[in-house]
Amino acid sequence: MQAHDALFIDGTWRPAAADGTLQVTNPANGTVLATVPAGGPEDVDAAVAAARAALPGWSGTPPAERAALLGALHDVLTARREEIAEIVTRELGSPLAFSQAVHAAVPVAVSGSYARIAAEHTFEERIGNSRVLHEPVGVVGAITPWNYPLHQIVAKAAPALAAGCTMVLKPAEDTPLVAQLFAEAVAEAGFPAGVFNLVTGLGPVAGQALAEHEDVDLVSFTGSTAVGRRIGAAAGGAVKNVALELGGKSANVILPGADLARAVKVGVANVMANSGQTCSAWTRMLVDAARYEEAVELAAAAAAKYAPGDPEAEGTRLGPVVNARQRERVAGYIEQGVKEGARLVAGGPEVPEGFERGAYVAPTVFADVTPEMTIAQEEIFGPVLSVLRYEDTEDALRIANGTVYGLAGAVWSEDEEEAVAFARRMETGQVDINGGRFNPQAPFGGYKQSGVGRELGPHGLGEYLQTKSLQL
């Protein structure tokens, strides 16, 4: 696709009222891919007005018709899967194979799931002498991150549109090109003008204007806990609905007797995927004292197989992080880990040799990490794994629950019921048992400071509905 020097508002590509532009760069080599408009408050006003004007017609459209349009959107995204993968690889730096398998395939699956859910959902029910209606919440302001750029868009847009809401999207500054492709797909699928609108721009400018807009009924934000806290405060002050999918510091708990080799191999792969830029990554590996050193050796050997490479080259498993600023942030955390006494067994803060032009971080593994260390408490968002020792299962549970986050996690055991019993006690929104597969229809979201609300599947649809009772 050709990048648009325009915003998608009310069904057409139109110039921004604001003058600024954003440069989109390739983090693998620093080259400029494109420039897009840096929309401002006036552009957000126009987009919200278009969404508000389109709301009565779209919310009144029968669910079966909304489902049919979502099915058409699914077909368009399916047809453009290779293009999606190539765009995400260029603007995010994700290895092409991962972009194909995850960045393109998962949003396609999610869009298809909402076509089915919209057709099957009960938007009206009887409870005694009441008729209870499930109605769209209204105009949605969606602010999405760069780490899974299309998935996070679809995880908000598909349920919002299925519910009968209209929306304005402000995508991340680093990855606006795949957002433009999504706007093209919405138009090609035949959605009415104004139902979906796209404003590219800076978070503190366009994002803030959207989050604070008095004509937005729900703000759905995915990103850092710090920014989410500000958005939540602004929404609360306006008595406005908010959905927040925030950070994580998830624990991968390997119980005594579990298949250690498999648990470590899968755990390292989980952390290295997408260069560690995954909010739900299992960045803390917890191993019993008797097998701790063996696990450390296995983790270091597994990490060594993730050699940095050109994301467009076949066989590359680890690309760059999203930009130079993120690279410096991750390197700073690695240096902090060393300073606080953790043992570096793989990687380190230095730029990998031969990759000085890109935003690369070496796959890094720390041993002798204690629960209070910075690298065990704060979200690093890079290919960095901390391996922690525990004495017994109660100690493991205390460590696993001992952060402000609660987004995801994993438990490994030779006895599945033992793993499930442990997972029930974890303060986290999603737990994989013995390597259970990601389910795009299961609810995703966090406890504690990892967020408010749920995405994906029927639970994700519920975030965009409000209830009305008619007493008969």
Of 184, 180, 231, 181, give the one whose Cα is nearest residue 203. 231
Of 219, 210, 212, 199, give the one whose Cα is nearest residue 18. 199
Of 161, 54, 62, give the one whose Cα is nearest residue 111. 161
Contacts of 53 (CB under 8 A, 6+ apart): 10, 194
CA dihedral angle for residue 203, residue 205, residue 211, residue 215, rounded to 10 degrees: -150
Contacts of 450 (CB under 8 A, 6+ apart): 225, 245, 246, 247, 248, 279, 405, 406, 407, 428, 429
Give the span between the Cα atoms of 258 and 328, in whole angstroms: 36
Strands 432-433 and 409-412, how do they pair?
parallel
Instruction: Answer whether 204's CB lies under 8 Å from 126's CB.
Output: no
Of 155, 149, 173, 152, give the one whose Cα is nearest residue 88. 149
For this structure, is 279 an active site residue? Answer: yes
Instruction: Answer whether 219's CB lies under 8 Å from 73's CB.
Output: no
Annotated active-site residue in 212, 245, 379, 463: 245
Give the span between the Cα atoms of 442 and 430, in whole angstroms: 9
For this structure, is 165 an active site residue? Answer: no
Annotated active-site residue in 91, 173, 279, 379: 279
Query: Please, is 180 exposed, middle or buried when counting C-beta atoms within 10 Å of its C-beta (0-12, 13-18, 19+)?
Result: buried
What is the set of active-site residues? Answer: 245, 279
